[in-house]
Amino acid sequence: MLRHLSLLLLCLFPLLAPAAPQAPAQLRIQGSNTIGAALAPALVKGMLEAQGAGEVRIETQATANEVQVRALDQQGTPIRVDITAHGSSTGFTALKSGEADLAAASRPVKPSERAELQPLGDLNSAAAEQIIGLDGVAVIVHPDNPLPQVSTVQLAQIFAGQITTWEALGLGNGPIHLYARDDRSGTFETFKALVLDDRGQTLANTAKRFESGEQLAKEVLNDRQAIGFSSLASVHGAKVLAIADGDSRAMLPSPALVASEDYPLSRRLYLYMPPTQATPWARALVEFAQSAKGQAIVTANGFVGQHIHAIKVPPADGMPPPYRALVRNAQRLSVNFRFQEGSANLDNKALRDVQRVIDYLRLHNKLKQDVVLVGFGDAKHDPERAALLSRLRAMAVRRELAKEGITLREVMGLGDELPVATNTAEEGRLRNRRVEVWVY
């Protein structure tokens, strides 16, 4: 009897033994839900397939907003990438604790986060801060809502709880129901910075908060009194409002206006890679995301890629004569060069965009006397100074293009003409300091 019992226990032992621990992931990404929900898994999958990996699959995990991408390399060795998407701030926290190799963020790193992570290197450096695509924070309402547009001032008053009924906006009746992303979300941080902070407002405590933009959009679709904001990639049938900021015209988040960052609530999508501790897998994903294949995946996932194309701009009232001549005879490229805060140096996106523009000009044989650079700036007490500063910005871009043998037809500075944002706030002034590229 005892011998039979021993044999039974021996048979059961493999079933009772603890599971072997998982091998560590080759790459760990934490942060933005906007990026991590679908875009990051798609980029990882694309990278692995480009490397020749097989059996690539994306597996959802028991915890919401967490996935693993699994594959076998060409030698049959298992590959695992862990993606945890609970909000941009969580990515920087994970970098600090050593639990992530890349932080995904739908807003730039804050000065306080940058200071805490200084032992890992400068996260504002061109090596660390990688802009992988563009997005527009879309302000959304129920499809039956007749409201066509709203200003950033009205938006601040609505989400601060100062405008509480639809009657106050001149239409319909009933209370306004607020829907917002949670405090860990980069989407909320962007909306807070561009809409609330600049007007000294805070989000009303009546707003319903969501970790997921997908869930927020679903709730707006089921509530005729709703107004919310989310990534352009997670609108899913809700009505998107046009946004006006200061003296700018009201703009919808079209791909062209998001690509140029003229849309008032445009934002960049980031991967932050600690420069002193960057792993080969992290470097590989960053480079793939910046490649033509990677940017095609960005676009396929509902965001705006950074590939360059020419756009015919329609004439509009208020265009100064030199600009109107460009509109009549040339096309604008789908990029604006912008600058580091308080500096005439190109920012990290612009440094990458220089090469993208050069590649476009070479491909279309426009290297000699076919390009016009147009600089813009924020308002100054002296209009001549504003015009000079805007021209100097265009000259900074000219120097970069000249290194590759490109000669220009003209460089002009239009000062504070044609603003795309209010000049009363620093965020708006930074967006107005830009250089457009036009080709004949």
Confidence at residue 383, expressed as pLDDT on a 0 to 100 scale: 84
| 105-125 pLDDT tens trace | 999 999 999 999 999 999 999
Please choose, from the candidates 302, 313, 206, the residue with its C-alpha nearest in 3D space to the C-alpha of residue 255.
302
Under 8 Å CB-to-CB from 305, ≥6 apart: which residues? 133, 134, 259, 295, 296, 298, 299
Q: For residue 344, name the pLDDT band (cuts at 50, 70, 90).
A: confident
Superfamily of domain 135-259: Periplasmic binding protein-like II (3.40.190.10)
- Torsion angle of C-alpha atoms 418, 126, 268, 392, degrees rounded to 10: 0
How far is 108 from 269, CA to CA, in rounded Å? 8
> Is the CA virtual torsion 354, 310, 421, 207 positive or negative?
negative
**d(C-alpha 357, C-alpha 406), whole Å:** 11
CATH 3.40.190.10, domain 27-131+269-300, yes or no: yes
Measure the CA–CA gap between 186 and 35, rounded to whole angstroms.
10
Q: What angle do CA 3, 8, 13 make, to 5 degrees?
A: 125
Is the backbone of residue 200 left (phi > 0), alpha (psi -120 to 50) or beta? left
Q: What is the crossing angle of helices 280-290 and 39-50, to 10°?
A: 100
For 112, residues 6+ apart whose C-beta sits below 8 A from its C-beta are none
H-helix or E-strand spanning residue 227: strand 226-231
CATH fold, domain 308-439, is 60s Ribosomal Protein L30; Chain: A; (3.30.1330)
- What pLDDT band is residue 247 in, cutting at 50, 70 and 90? confident
Backbone angles phi, psi at 156, to 5 degrees: -60, -40
3-state secondary structure 183-196: CCCHHHHHHHHHHH
pLDDT for 249 equals: 87
The pTM of the full predicted model, rounded to 2 decimals, is 0.87
The answer on pLDDT for 304 being more than 90 is: yes
Which residue ranges does the chain devote to CATH 3.40.190.10? 27-131+269-300, 135-259
**pLDDT, position 248:** 83
Task: From 39, 28, 106, 70, select the one nearest 301 (Cα to Cα).
Answer: 39
User: What would the mean pLDDT of 87-94 be, rounded to a whole number?
Assistant: 97
What pLDDT score was predicted for residue 22? Answer: 66
Instruction: Specify whether the CB–CB gap between 269 and 134 falls below 8 A.
Output: yes
Distance from C-alpha of 163 to C-alpha of 365, rounded to nearest angstrom: 54
Q: In whole angstroms, give the CA distance from residue 157 to residue 223.
A: 20
Distance CA 240, CA 146 (A): 11
3-state secondary structure of 395: helix
Separation of alpha carbons 414 and 316, rounded Å: 16
Hey, which bits of 125-203 come out as E strands?
A: 129-141, 149-151, 177-181
- What's the pLDDT score for residue 224? 96
CA distance 136 to 370: 31
d(CA 72, CA 147): 51
pLDDT, tens digit, 9 for 90 and up, residues 256-297 = 999 999 999 999 999 999 999 899 999 999 999 999 999 999
Q: Does residue 100 or residue 386 have the better pLDDT? A: 100
Question: Residue 257: helix, strand or coil by DSSP?
Answer: helix
Q: How far apart are the first and last CA of the chain?
A: 95
Which whole number is the average pLDDT over 392-408?
Answer: 96
Residue 315's identity, in one-letter code, is P
What is the C-alpha radius of gyration for the chain, rounded to an integer number of angstroms? 25
Torsion sign over Cα 236, 241, 246, 247: positive
pLDDT score of 425: 73
What pLDDT is attached to residue 23?
74
Residue holding tokens 């039974």? 8
Asked whether 408 and 373 are in contact (CB, 8 A), the reply is yes
What mean pLDDT do residues 310-321 have? 94
At 20 the pLDDT is 45
Domain(s) labelled CATH 3.30.1330.60 in the chain stretch across 308-439
| Largest CA-CA distance found in the chain, in angstroms, rounded | 103
**Average pLDDT for 139-152:** 96
Q: Which distant-in-sequence residues (6+ apart) come within 8 Å of 115 by Cβ?
A: none
